[in-house]
């Protein structure tokens, strides 16, 4: 019997995207596939994504990674949500905590009962009805079943970690599973003269890496998807005007807290991400409203802890490739588009692209219908995340010129319709399998002061006394649960402390 043909998948570029793809494909695709990654140590990586969302746990579990070992190797800490400081108003802060907000009653979403209770003076801010937020603010952490009451849901969580160390960890994982690696700079891309597919990558060493399916993980450059195939780019700067960032790691100045901070600033926002061995800091800003020098001065003046270098600049254009999959090339990571890390979605978009590719993995030649479906799903996902990010900017309460311009922007139709539903009826609708849930949208809308004009009439069926008792009970249950959790820093030290460096 003849051996079945082997399909060679070539990944152009390493970094987080390249090694996530290599690890997943090397682990999930066995007989009949050969995975080959090409990267150059001389080409730096952006190192995108020190903060993640809970879906990263599904990716790690699919690979069979030991969670504590992974955290030790990457300097990781736990993440329960994101605190948005100064977005609604300069002196205000709210949190987008993972997990449920309150409890739905029957078919009616919790926000309708909360809206009514707030109008009657029977409920506190929304933060009091999300276990993750209460635990995060208290600096507490716990995994697994609840400690005080079986009716309390387990807390979802994500991670902060060093993206460079994560890529190195996955590189070891992948190469132990027969993923091949070639070192070298790509100097030429060969194409089929008839169909136009990519056939091989030529390296500066003279090596020729041939393949059947190519994954472009070459970052913003998009060597295969854009420079070679000309997929085109959809520019979203009219809605997300920030176009530059500075990254500055510092020494850890305090025990790490289990949440990311997104701190509004004069011309953008700053991130603060606590790792075990350092703190990640950065300033995402719009060059129309501040200079690079002023942005660097703002960042260096506001970080906590001694800087571990100079601010590292990054320039970008928010948007997406018009076709993430063109011919036999699939763009993943920054090669497919860019959304600023306001809601920590960079690594998730890599993860979801890999999962989508595996589900739609083609026989050869690539079927046009599969490619079209991949592109449709990719566009839907990133456009809905885009809308969620725009909401943060539009719903601000700040006075600086940058923020005034954000309030005055013309919104995409999809976002304008969603805001109208909330403002007129207190309704939030999650469309299909978009990433952010109703609870996520609720926390940003309420946290930044977008008022709902009404609540569902069935929420009026509960007597005020019962409604008030319900709100108090939820608050007390969650605060009691968080109160018995160990401190986050102690939890990390006990389970996944990074070896001394």
Q: Which residues are catalytic?
A: 79
Whether residue 449 is preceded by a cis peptide bond, meaning omega within 30 degrees of 0, is no
CA distance 161 to 158: 10
CB 159 within 8 A of CB 79: yes
Torsion of CA 340, 345, 349, 350, to 10 degrees: 90
Q: Which residue has the tokens 């300097």?
A: 75
CB 88 within 8 A of CB 396: yes
DSSP summary character for residue 93: E
The radius of gyration of the chain from alpha carbons, rounded to an integer in Å, stands at: 24
Q: Which residue has the tokens 């719903």?
A: 395
Please enumerate in sequence order all residues whose Cβ is within 8 A of that of 293, keeping only pairs 6 or more positions apart, or say none: none
H helices within 283-367, ranges in order?
A: 292-302, 346-359
Structure tokens given for 170: 């996955």
Per the document, the length of the chain is: 501
Please enumerate in sequence order all residues whose Cβ is within 8 A of that of 338, keeping only pairs 6 or more positions apart, or say none: 220, 316, 317, 318, 319, 320
CB 294 within 8 A of CB 269: no
Angle at 269 between CA 265 and CA 271, to 5 degrees: 125
CB 266 within 8 A of CB 289: yes
DSSP lists the bridge partners of residue 108 as: 105
CA distance 41 to 58: 29
DSSP summary character for residue 499: P
Q: Which residue has the tokens 């736990």?
A: 78
């Amino acid at each position: 019997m003849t051996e079945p043909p082997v399909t060679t998948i070539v990944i152009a570029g390493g970094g987080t995207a390249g090694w996530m793809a290599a690890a997943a494909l090397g682990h999930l695709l066995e007989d009949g596939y050969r995975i080959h990654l090409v990267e150059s140590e001389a080409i730096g990586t952006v190192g995108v994504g020190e903060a993640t969302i809970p879906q990263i746990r599904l990716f790690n579990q699919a690979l069979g990674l030991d969670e504590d070992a992974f955290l030790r190797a990457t300097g990781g800490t736990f993440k329960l949500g994101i605190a948005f400081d100064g977005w609604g108003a300069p002196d205000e802060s709210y949190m987008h905590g993972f997990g449920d907000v309150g409890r739905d009653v029957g078919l009616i979403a919790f926000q309708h009962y909360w809206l009514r209770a707030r109008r009657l003076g029977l409920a506190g801010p929304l933060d009091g009805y999300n276990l993750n937020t209460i635990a995060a603010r208290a600096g507490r952490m716990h995994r697994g079943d609840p400690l005080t009451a079986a009716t309390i849901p387990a807390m979802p969580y994500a991670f902060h970690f060093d993206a460079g160390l994560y890529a190195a960890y996955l590189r070891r994982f992948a190469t132990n599973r027969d993923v091949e690696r070639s070192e070298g700079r790509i100097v030429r891309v060969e194409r089929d003269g008839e169909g136009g597919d990519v056939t091989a990558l030529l390296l500066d060493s003279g090596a020729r890496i041939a393949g059947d399916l190519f994954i472009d993980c070459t970052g913003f450059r998009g060597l295969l998807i854009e420079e070679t195939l000309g997929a085109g780019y959809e520019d979203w700067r009219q809605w997300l005007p920030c176009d530059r960032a500075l990254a500055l790691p510092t020494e850890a100045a305090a025990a790490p807290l289990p949440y990311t901070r997104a701190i509004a600033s004069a011309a953008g926002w700053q991130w603060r991400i606590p790792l075990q061995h350092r703190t990640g800091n950065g300033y995402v800003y719009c060059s129309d409203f501040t200079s690079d020098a002023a942005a660097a001065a703002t960042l260096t003046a506001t970080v906590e802890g001694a800087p571990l270098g100079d601010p590292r600049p990054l320039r970008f254009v928010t948007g997406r490739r018009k076709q993430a999959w063109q011919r036999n090339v699939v763009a993943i990571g920054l090669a497919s588009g860019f959304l600023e890390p306001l809601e920590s979605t960079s690594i998730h978009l890599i993860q979801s692209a890999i999962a989508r590719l595996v589900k739609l993995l083609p026989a050869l030649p690539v079927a046009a219908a599969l490619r079209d479906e991949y592109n449709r799903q990719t566009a839907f996902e990133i456009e809905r995340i885009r809308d969620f990010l725009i909401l943060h900017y539009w719903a601000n309460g700040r006075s600086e010129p940058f923020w005034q311009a954000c309030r005055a922007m013309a919104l995409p139709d999809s976002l304008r319709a969603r805001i109208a539903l909330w403002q007129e009826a207190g309704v939030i609708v999650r469309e299909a399998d978009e990433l952010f849930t109703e609870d996520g949208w609720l926390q940003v809308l309420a946290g930044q002061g977008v008022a709902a004009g009404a609540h569902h009439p069935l929420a009026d069926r509960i007597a005020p006394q019962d409604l008030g008792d319900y709100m108090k009970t939820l608050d007390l249950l969650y605060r009691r649960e968080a109160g018995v959790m160990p401190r986050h820093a102690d939890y990390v030290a006990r389970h996944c402390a990074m070896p001394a460096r």
